[in-house]
Amino acid sequence: MGISSANKISRRSALANGAMIAAGLAVGPLAARAQNLAPQANKARKITGRDSLKSHAAHHGLLAGTAVNVRALGAQPEYARVLAEQYDIVVAENAMKWGPLRPTPDTFFFTDADALMAFAAEHKMKVRGHNLCWHSQLPTWFASTVTKENAHRFLVDHITTVAGRYRGRIEAWDVVNEAVQVSDGRPDGLRNGPWMKLLGPEYIDLAFRTARQADSHALLTYNDYGVENSSEDATKKRAAVLALLRGMKARNTPLDALGIQSHIHTGGSFGAGIRDFMASARDLGLKIFLTEMDVNDSNLTYNDIARTDHAVAETYRDYLTTTLAEPAVTAVLTWGFTDRYTWLAGGFRGQSKHPQRPLPFDANYQPTEAFFAIRDAFDHRKTPRTAV
């Protein structure tokens, strides 16, 4: 197990403070004062144009992106400005999921998804589709309507309609999301969710084959979470995901990429487990996307914004230093870009001592220390340039 981020944070803080002292920037209680300067210093630093996340990412073979709250995009000019300024790939946080897309068994609601596609086209951004098959966020009518007899038709019709509508305009689809749940106890480690109950494990290949037929351009992606850190659970999940991917490849199921959601926590430890996992995915010929990155700080015991921001930033730095060394990684997306709309809001899971600060921009669209840690990690990527 690698040194925890917490230990690295204290060591790195001392180094940072030393640097600031040398620069005549920090005196007094070094750790606190140096970190308290951070928010002000952040505001003064350039972040647009060639200083943007997407510009720094592109120099190192990466797309920089974020999930988009489409309602905020339409209502908040500041939201749209920062989005266009910083990112070159986007994904709908919710608008392309079954629930939002399917108000009734016979109708589709594409207004929000179409709005994101239009914004992306206007700003020459690529789009990730999320997602064509998931156990969660299914429409309210799903359980009472979809049966073992009609599930095949519902799945094929949905994928054909949705992926067909955006054919040629989606960079990558999350075709199946979160199909692995080792704790469900199946020998194959797969989740015993609605699609498994309705169609058996064959639903996964069916979804990918249907998606390929609907859009031969899109990179067909398997997307999942909980594979990032050095815990025993993550180790078990990585093994089950790899078994799934290897089986798909052995059956010639169309599969182009692995999405690693990257919902991580402050103090997380990221080492050989995730490195070897990504190398194994590369050996299968897969691209790798970090698809939903954010840092949950609810395990921090103090209520100090500067310290929280520093801990979050150092966790991003640690995680990206490890993962960007993998040459197959070609895109890095956070799950939202401003704390104002993070799904972690309101003290996610109830433990937070303060509103969560997981993203590169705070609730007032000001860059946080995390912004600069992510940009630095792009700059310090130690791997040959990869074609995007």
Q: Hey, which residues are catalytic here?
A: 178, 292
Beta carbons of 299 and 312 less than 8 angstroms apart: no
Nearer to ligand G3I, 166 or 225 (CB): 225
Nearer to ligand G3I, 61 or 259 (CB): 259
Nearest-CA neighbor of 328 among 384, 255, 249, 254? 384
Nearest-angstrom CA–CA distance, 120 and 91:
10
**C-alpha dihedral sign at 154, 157, 161, 162:** positive
Name which position in 137, 213, 298, 366 contacts ligand G3I (CB under 6 A): 137
Nearest-angstrom CA–CA distance, 372 and 370:
5
What is the pattern of x (binds ligand G3I, CB under 6 A) and - over residues 193-232?
Answer: --------------------------------x-------
How near is the Cβ of 385 to ligand G3I at its closest, in Å?
A: 29
How near is the Cβ of 172 to ligand G3I at its closest, in Å?
A: 15
Please tell me whether residue 136 binds ligand G3I under the rule CB under 6 A: yes
Tokens of 146: 């979809």
Q: What is the DSSP string of 335-347?
A: S-SBGGG-TTTTT
Beta carbons of 17 and 34 less than 8 angstroms apart: yes
Nearest-CA neighbor of 102 among 69, 132, 71, 70? 132
How near is the Cβ of 335 to ligand G3I at its closest, in Å?
A: 6
> Is 196 strand, coil or helix?
helix
**C-alpha dihedral sign at 125, 126, 132, 136:** negative
Please tell me whether residue 343 binds ligand G3I under the rule CB under 6 A: yes
Continuous segment of H or E residues that includes residue 243:
helix 232-250
Please tell me whether residue 76 binds ligand G3I under the rule CB under 6 A: no
What is the pattern of x (binds ligand G3I, CB under 6 A) and - over residues 253-282?
Answer: --------x---------------------
Pick out residues in 296-315 that bind ligand G3I (CB under 6 A). none
Pick out residues in 164-183 that bind ligand G3I (CB under 6 A). 177
- Measured from the Cβ of residue 111, the count of other Cβ atoms closer than 10 Å reads 11
Number of residues located near ligand G3I, criterion CB under 6 A: 9
Which residue in the shown chain puts its C-beta closest to ligand G3I? 343
- Measured from the Cβ of residue 135, the count of other Cβ atoms closer than 10 Å reads 17
> What one-letter code names the amino acid at 130?
H
Name which position in 88, 171, 215, 292 contacts ligand G3I (CB under 6 A): 292
Tokens of 238: 């990585």
Please tell me whether residue 94 binds ligand G3I under the rule CB under 6 A: yes
Nearer to ligand G3I, 108 or 325 (CB): 108
Nearer to ligand G3I, 137 or 386 (CB): 137
How near is the Cβ of 28 to ligand G3I at its closest, in Å?
A: 40
Q: Which residues bind ligand G3I (CB under 6 A)?
A: 93-94, 136-137, 177, 225, 261, 292, 343
